[in-house]
Amino acid sequence: EAQVTQNPRYLITVTGKKLTVTCSQNMNHEYMSWYRQDPGLGLRQIYYSMNVEVTDKGDVPEGYKVSRKEKRNFPLILESPSPNQTSLYFCASSPLAGVGNEQFFGPGTRLTVL
């Protein structure tokens, strides 16, 4: 089944404890992206990747890191989480960027930082 998977689905952590949220897609998509969803704000892009080894900042990149060593994986790293990073996170992938292609979303990771 074609899908985007994320792990973990739920995570409660404490301020400053490094964490990684994994994202993997099995559709051979070139483009991958991370969004965060907050009430009343919709989804906002954190980072994106046009292809392997090519990543760039989205609208809200502060406090986050990403890497794209393989086409299928795009982990999101929070080196020192803070409470304002409590949010619902979505990974998405698309065949190519910028040509009206649909983005396929993972099931989401709900992160709470205490």
Contact residues for other proteins, defined by CB under 8 A: 4, 31, 33, 35, 40-45, 48, 50, 56, 58-59, 90, 92, 94, 96-100, 102-103, 105-108
In angstroms, give the least distance from the CB of 83 to other proteins.
Answer: 22
In angstroms, give the least distance from the CB of 17 to other proteins.
Answer: 25
Question: For residue 3, which amino acid is it?
Answer: Q
Closer by beta carbon to other proteins, 14 or else 41: 41
**Residue 29 and residue 75: Cα distance in Å, rounded?**
15
**Residue 111 and residue 21: Cα distance in Å, rounded?**
10
Closer by beta carbon to other proteins, 6 or else 85: 6
Closer by beta carbon to other proteins, 24 or else 33: 33
In angstroms, give the least distance from the CB of 88 to other proteins.
Answer: 10
In angstroms, give the least distance from the CB of 65 to other proteins.
Answer: 18
Closer by beta carbon to other proteins, 14 or else 96: 96
The CA–CA distances, whole Å, from 46 to 1, 2, 17, 59 equal 27, 24, 20, 6
**Per 3-state DSSP, what percentage of the chain is helix, strand, and coil (rounded to 5)?**
5, 50, 45
Residue 88 structure tokens: 């619902």
